[in-house]
Chains A and B, each alone.
Chain A
Amino acid sequence: MLLLSFVTISLSSQNRGMVLIPSGSYKPFIKGQADQLKVEHFWMDEKAVTNAEFLDFVKANPKWSRAQVKRLFADQDYLSHWRTDFVDQNNSQQGNAPVVNVSWFAANAYCTWQGKRLPTLSEWEYAASALPQGSKDSSSLQEIIANWYSRRSQVENDAAAFYKSEFGLWDMYGKVWEWVYDFNSVQYNEDSRNMEESPEGLFCGSASLNANDASDYATFIRYAFRGSLKGDFTVRKLGFRCAKTIENQQ
């Protein structure tokens, strides 16, 4: 029954370019939480927001252009890879690449402008846990992550080029990091070995290492990365994609 209503929703034109992520659960990284965290179904952009798409947003909202953006909302490297304030790149290939050097505030504003929002950390982690299409072996996903970590990624690539997951999402791993709405909700300790003093016992480095699990190790890096961010930060390998709540749940 549920599936039928999904089909109806997905036909709606306003969600073009998004895929429906079905309800489900995932094993959270942080110890002390439930064994499985439940995530309600939601819409998610099938690929990261591109330079070309972000350019449309900036043109429609000049206050988010390089020249006019408030320093409070984006640091001095905001969109620094663009040629000018209103020209993203000089060839179409880069136009299709994920936009990077955007702050959390800018990403949030883009999604709001689109009638969407940033995915929550839980939504993102759950969505990203889906294996590449056609793969039955979780090691294929771990391999993508491990290769990404141990080699330099190419942000110039097309936003949809690398792999498509069972949920229909392109390149959750392997290209750029992505902002989430509550990126700072896990109080990551700046010294990753600090176990006793980490607030609420949320972070336990050695527990993760002792888990002896490659995918956990990879997750560790992701959490460390988020922990190093502030809302106005822009990073050359950090982009985003939007999500949307399913309002009409029959």
Chain B
Amino acid sequence: MKSFITTLRIKTFLVLLSGIALLWSCKSENQPKIVDFNKAVTGEVRAVLTDAPMVPPRIEAKHNTKVIVELEVIEQTMRLADGVDYTFWTFGGKVPGKFIRVRQGDLVEFHLHNHPDNMLPHNIDLHAVTGPGGGAEASLIAPGKSAQFSFRALNQGLYVYHCATAPVGMHIANGMYGLILVEPLEGFPPVDHEFYVMQSEFYTTGKFGEKGHQDFDMQKALDERPDYVVINGAVGASAGENAMTVKVGETVRLYLGNGGPNLISSFHVIGEIFDKVYVEGGTLINHDVQTTLIPAGGSAIAEFRCDVPGTLHLVDHSIFRSFNKGALAQIKVVGDENHNVFTGKEKEEVYLPEGSSIQRISSGKQSAAAEVIPEKNLQERLAAGKTLYNQNCMACHMDHGKGIAGTFPPLVNSDYLQALPDKGIGVILNGLQGEILVNGNKYNNIMPAVSLSDDQVASILTYIFNEFENGGGLIKASEVRDWRDKK
């Protein structure tokens, strides 16, 4: 009897204790809210949908409402890289698909339309849906048909949506994914800029940069060996002229997604630290993060404040994907320097330890130098040179050959380049190290030798001489060949 009472007391104590724990945990800011889905919503709004890198405005209503989403599936041929086309299957005409923004507790009335010119049936699986297949079963439609279904946004978070029609992998590999944000009813804390950034891979029959229309390569997809890893659907889609722009002192929130279909992204912004990351797009918040993982079919939300001017590079830090396969986007931060945060280069001196020598960037065991290609005219050289420059040179020498002061010498109106008797052929083929003087500024860095064909070298240099104010002229592949022969 006594022992029974003791047990009872202990039980009571435990119940009390757990009650306290429950009360305490309710105070935690990360405690998920529960939606009363039996409570009706009031009014309705039509969702504003946006293409990357733009994010729709948040819905202003103070109460939960019905949100009508109209999304159209369009199969169309578009640019994957300069000179490279691909027939994408899209949600809304672009890759990634339209950004959808609703609030926790909202009722979403979803309309999926399959354009009559399309060849294939499609559907949609939204990870934000609680229900069979995330809506996939309810939305399978033949070309020329529409489907409608409704769901209640029960959980807060940033969710991937994608097509789930057989063969699922191929539908995703061809571009059928996007993000849907379910934000708290009261919204996230305000920031100055919000951007939509989504990584994904493409598996093409041709190698990276190979010209013309590229078809989907199923074997490469099975082997998980993409030729393209891109941010926002194409090489350079949100870089260079298309870069996102903010001012010094402003805050940025990135809605990050990864469409896959296969790779996990080690997402990193060169030159920034994430002050805050909503881990995997959920309610868990981490602080002071350098690189955050974005699973295939998953997301993350990252926030930071831009304290100094410059260009931020958004990369997958599985870094060959960024510098050789296209996974690079940029945010340009404009405004005044703040030397209390970053000084720029204060001092520079020669440091040559043992074993430092020029590395080679090789595209294969044998250089393509021997390949016989007919000489191109000026127009052809300029067109080919632009793409080759963007692929091989721009990461360091920057857009329009501007270079980076003190680190990468400019190519625009370069006295150094113009004075070279071989017009720079040697620099590309052999690389360059040691101190040089360019337009009055000293540079001391190492440029790797780039393994390109005679034809490609001629095109790049013709492009640099004509487009970057270096006096013009047409450099022939035969000149490059002669240079090689002399060696």
Interface of A with B (CB < 8 Å)?
Answer: 77, 146-147, 149-153, 177, 188-194, 205, 208-209, 212, 214, 217, 220-221, 223-225, 227-229, 233-237
Contacts and interface: CB of A to CB of B under 8 A. Distances in A.
B123 to A, nearest CB: 7
A208 B170 CA distance: 13
Interface string B91-123: 000000000000000000000000011111101
Interface of A, helix, strand, loop or mixed by DSSP: loop
A195 B222 CA distance: 20
A236 B164 contact: no
B143 A209 contact: no
B480 to A, nearest CB: 36
Nearest to B77: A152
Contact of B218 (A193, A214, A225): A214
Contacts of A217: 167, 170, 218
Given A152-B119, A190-B137, A233-B145, A147 B215 contact: yes
Nearest to A188: B166
Given A212-B222, A225-B121, 4 more contacts: A149-B170, A150-B215, A193-B168, A224-B165
B166 A223 contact: yes
B231 to A, nearest CB: 23
A234 B145 CA distance: 9
Query: What bracket does the count of chain B residues touching chain A fall in?
Result: 35 or more
Contacts of A223: 166
Interface in B169-220: 169-170, 174, 213, 215-216, 218-219
Interface of B: 75-77, 87, 116-121, 123, 125, 132-133, 136-145, 164-170, 174, 213, 215-216, 218-219, 222
A193 B215 CA distance: 24
A10 B219 CA distance: 42
Nearest to B216: A150
B132 to A, nearest CB: 7
B87 A191 contact: no
Contacts, number: 108
Nearest to A153: B119
Interface centre among B117, B136, B143, B164 (most CB of A within 10 A): B143
Given A228-B140, A236-B144, A237-B119, A220 B167 contact: yes
B87 A233 contact: no
Given A190-B123, A191-B132, A221-B170, A236 B116 contact: yes
A223 B165 CA distance: 11
B146 to A, nearest CB: 12
A224 B164 CA distance: 11
Given A217-B167, A224-B121, A190 B140 contact: yes
Contact of B167 (A190, A208, A227, A228): A208
A151 B167 CA distance: 16
B164 A193 contact: yes
B436 to A, nearest CB: 47
B119 A149 contact: yes
B174 to A, nearest CB: 8
Nearest to B213: A151
Contacts of B222: 209, 212
15 contacts: A190-B139, A191-B133, A191-B140, A192-B165, A205-B167, A209-B222, A212-B222, A214-B218, A220-B167, A221-B170, A224-B121, A228-B141, A233-B142, A236-B144, A237-B143
Given A151-B215, A191-B132, A192-B164, A209 B169 contact: yes
Given A150-B87, A224-B121, A194 B133 contact: yes
A191 B144 contact: no
Contacts of A150: 87, 174, 215-216
B215 A191 contact: no
B165 A77 contact: no
Given A77-B116, A77-B144, A236-B116, A146 B167 contact: no
Q: Lowest 7 A-B CB distances belong to which pairs?
A: A228-B121, A192-B166, A191-B133, A190-B140, A224-B166, A150-B215, A191-B136
Contacts of A221: 120, 166-167, 170
Interface centre among A192, A209, A221 (most CB of B within 10 A): A192
A190 B133 contact: yes
A227 to B, nearest CB: 7
A236 B117 contact: yes
A84 B453 CA distance: 58
B363 to A, nearest CB: 25
Interface centre among A149, A212, A220 (most CB of B within 10 A): A149
Contacts of A191: 123, 125, 132-133, 136-137, 140, 164
A235 B164 contact: no
A146 B174 CA distance: 13
A205 B142 contact: no
Contact of A220 (B137, B138, B145, B166): B166
Contacts of A146: 215-216, 218
A104 to B, nearest CB: 12
A234 B116 CA distance: 10
Contacts of A235: 116, 142-144
B87 A152 contact: yes
Contacts of A227: 121, 140
Nearest to A237: B119
Contacts of A225: 120-121, 142
A109 B174 CA distance: 37
Contacts of A151: 77, 87, 213, 215
Nearest to B119: A237
Contacts of B121: 224-225, 227-228
A96 to B, nearest CB: 21
A214 B167 CA distance: 11
A214 B219 contact: yes
Contacts of B213: 151
Nearest to A234: B144
A234 B216 CA distance: 28
A44 B278 CA distance: 60
Interface centre among B132, B144, B215 (most CB of A within 10 A): B144
Contacts of B138: 190
Contacts of B215: 146-147, 150-151
Nearest to B222: A212
Nearest to B132: A191
A103 B37 CA distance: 41
B221 to A, nearest CB: 9
Given A191-B133, A192-B165, A217-B170, A228 B142 contact: yes
Contacts of A152: 75-77, 87, 117, 119
A238 B218 CA distance: 25
